[in-house]
Amino acid sequence: MDFNQYIQNNHLKILVKPNSSKTEILGWDDDKKALRVNVKARPEDNAANVAVVKFFSKLLKKKVIIKTGLRSREKILIII
């Protein structure tokens, strides 16, 4: 899957479902205009956010920061 088509101005909008069986990308959600992502980590103690950053950093081979949505399932990532 080519993620560059979903990244606009170094920003990527994602919808996170924490506490899933594994960390994976499900696909593009046309209604929300975001990438759907399952994360194995639990939402407690910021674990899901850390897992999202590690997953996308490794996948894109770039530094990733959560810009908005630290306490929400809808997040905007900055790719540096």
Greater pLDDT, 59 or 3: 59
Query: What structural domains and CATH numbers belong to the chain?
Result: 3-79 (3.30.1200.10)
Sorting pLDDT into bands at 50, 70 and 90, what band is 2? confident
Confidence of residue 3 (pLDDT cuts 50, 70, 90): confident
List pLDDT tens digits, range 18-77.
999 999 999 999 999 999 999 999 999 999 999 999 999 999 999 999 999 999 999 999
CA gap 70, 75 in Å, rounded:
7
pTM over 0.85: yes
Between residues 3 and 78, the one the model is more confident about: 78
Longest dimension (CA), the chain: 32
Residue 67 makes CB contacts below 8 A (sequence gap 6+) with 11, 75, 76, 77, 78
